[in-house]
Structure 1
Amino acid sequence: MTYIIAQPCVDLKDRACVEECPVDCIYEGGRMLYIHPDECVDCGACEPVCPVTAIFYEDDVPEEFASYYDVNVQFFDGIGSPGGAAKQGVIDKDHPLVAALPPQEHDEA
């Protein structure tokens, strides 16, 4: 089991979750953040700090965001398991579903 990041993160990338993650498994793509399913230890530290409620436990993903499980898993196809997001930096790609979305607007905090 793992946590996943869903559509509310697209074009926001707040990064509070990245700072909270004790195992450095949240990677930054071009338009959103992605949780590596093989590196996540299911601690849940990321979920409460997300300002837009974009992070869900795999079994608790709302139906409207169900496809984001595959989005998070498939983002790492061809990347593998780098063993830490910090040393990887921004990965200049997104899952095709995310890349195809129109620009997402977010309320200013």
Structure 2
Amino acid sequence: MDLEQDILNLITCSGEATSLSIEAIEYARSNEFEKAEECFEEADEKLIMAHKIQTSLLHREAGGENFSISILLVHAQDHLMNAITINTLAKEFIKVYKELRSLKEKGD
């Protein structure tokens, strides 16, 4: 597959995972935890796709294919790392929202 296409797919999958993770936080803020979980399932699928692309690139390079380090490739890696971080933090936010909801229900 074309290197540039792989890089663009990596950016796309990572960006979608980020957006879905943020959407999950918004649902949780509104106590719509099932919808938040649906967003996480889709975000996780996008992250898996991104990891597969990244792994393919790593295998190609390890197999002797030479890649020039381009701004686009660095940008793609940055998107992936941010998507992973945001997804991890979003899952923690959801836990906090659930705890707050539980405390509120106990106090009512």
Task: Name the structure with the higher helix share.
Answer: 2
TM-score by length of 1: 0.24
- Which protein shows a greater Rg? 2
TM-score by length of 2: 0.24
